[in-house]
Amino acid sequence: MEEKRERSLLRRPGRVARWVYRLPIALYRWKLGWLLGGRFLLLTHVGRKSGQLRQTVLEVVRYDRLRDTYIVAVGFGRRTDWFRNLLATPSGSVQVGRRRAPIVSRQLSTDAAYLELLEYRRRHPIAVRVIAPFLQVPLNGNEKQLRATAMALPMVALQVTNSERRGSGEWQ
């Protein structure tokens, strides 16, 4: 039932859209990732089948400075490759602007994802109006609709693991 609901909310991008989504990776390869600022990050992770390094650019839903953790949404649902790869191997690295750091990942609970969506909706009303229709995800709805979105739209915490970390790093 949950997978059926997820399919109705989230659709995987087509070939052209995937090509467009991969363009920001080129910016990072050309050492221009800083142009994307702190709103996007380059995630490098290990393919669960191939064992090879893979990369994807993701929007940062929220950056927790105290825990040095980036919160990202799995925009196309649980069948998204980078998400499945992190479930298999939760370590990797991120590049945000000019900063590069190793990370360890964990999936947020549905309740935590719901709270992140509420906060995102409050802080980024323009992005909600633009991104939500594009992804076909109801972010402007009532509490029941937003909770359904939180169930279908997993969120991941990417916690920096190196010695340069700021704050205590304790998980709550």
**Residue 5, pLDDT score:** 47
Checking if the pLDDT of 28 tops 60, the result is yes
The residues pairing with 54 across neighbouring beta strands, listed in sequence order, are 45
pLDDT digits (tens, 9 = 90+) for 63-77: 999 999 999 999 878
pLDDT at 98: 84
Tell me the mean pLDDT in the region 39-52.
Answer: 93
pLDDT score of 125: 82
Q: What structural domains and CATH numbers belong to the chain?
A: 2-160 (2.30.110.10)
Instruction: Decide if 112 contacts 155 (C-beta within 8 A).
Output: yes
Sign for the pseudo-dihedral over CA of 108, 113, 115, 119: positive
Cα dihedral sign for 115, 111, 37, 101?
Answer: positive
Mean pLDDT of 41-68: 94
pLDDT tens per residue across span 122-169: 888 887 777 666 666 666 667 888 888 888 889 999 999 975 544 444
Confidence check: pLDDT of 20 > 80: no
- The per-residue pLDDT of the chain, averaged, comes to 80
Query: Which residue would you say has higher pLDDT here, 137 or 114?
Result: 114
| 3-state SS assignment for residue 130 | helix
Least confident of 43-47, 92-96, 152-156: 152-156
The kind and range of the H/E element at 146 are: helix 143-152
> CB under 8 Å to 16, separation ≥6 — which residues?
none
Distance CA 149, CA 70 (A): 20
- 4 has a pLDDT exceeding 60: no
